Amino acid sequence: MTVSGEPDYEKQVDLNSNFRSTKATDLEDGTYLGRIENAWIKEVNSPVTATGKQKIFEINMVVDGKSVQISYWLKSDANFKRCLINLQKLGFDVPQWGPMFDRPYLVEMDKAGLEMRGKTLSFRKDTNGEYRNIVLMALSAESIQPASEDELPF
């Protein structure tokens, strides 16, 4: 993966690997830790918007050896605010962002995404009726390190 979050097209891909990406909302209810690979704002095609584009704040991480994705579709004021509140919970100075402070939200969210890379994120997945919720809990500078070969049980 490159810094921009795009695949490295010059790197050989192991097509036989067991890589699978999972949405965090598909996990069982519970609390999780994940090492953040990347987080950024991306734009996708969307036929339901006037511009034909939709912005998403996306966090990709590794949880228990699986690739897991948390996506905030920034398509409504409520979704945008939910994302900002979760970033504030992680320690970002979100109340100081925005046009009043000459710090555009999308620019600051991209900066936050860069700062999150390599850190450990704790989050909770809850189900309330038909709603699957992801609550970001804490961001740690400590990185989850895979066990060395000497520590493996086999």
* Residue 146: band (very low, low, confident or very high) from pLDDT cuts 50, 70, 90: very low
Q: What is the pTM of this model?
A: 0.74
Domain assignment of residue 66, yes or no: yes
* Residue 1: band (very low, low, confident or very high) from pLDDT cuts 50, 70, 90: very low
CATH (domain of 136): 2.40.50
pLDDT > 70: percent of the chain: 77
Residue 5 has pLDDT above 90, yes or no: no
Predicted local distance difference test score (pLDDT) of residue 7 = 58
Domain assignment of residue 152, yes or no: no
Domain assignment of residue 153, yes or no: no
User: CA of 62: how far to CAs of 7, 51, 67, 68, 114, in Å?
Assistant: 16, 33, 5, 6, 16
Place of tokens 């740690």: 140
How far apart CA 113 and CA 110 sit, in angstroms, is 5
How many domains would you assign to the chain?
A: 1
Predicted local distance difference test score (pLDDT) of residue 105 = 95
Predicted local distance difference test score (pLDDT) of residue 133 = 86
Domain assignment of residue 148, yes or no: no
Predicted local distance difference test score (pLDDT) of residue 108 = 95
Domain assignment of residue 30, yes or no: yes
End-to-end CA distance of the chain: 30
Domain with 105 in it: 21-140
Domain assignment of residue 3, yes or no: no
Rg of the chain over CA atoms, in angstroms? 17
**Type of residue numbered 108:** E
Domain assignment of residue 49, yes or no: yes
- Rounded mean pLDDT of the chain? 82
* Residue 20: band (very low, low, confident or very high) from pLDDT cuts 50, 70, 90: low
Domain assignment of residue 136, yes or no: yes
Write down the number of H helices and E strands in the chain.
Answer: 2, 6
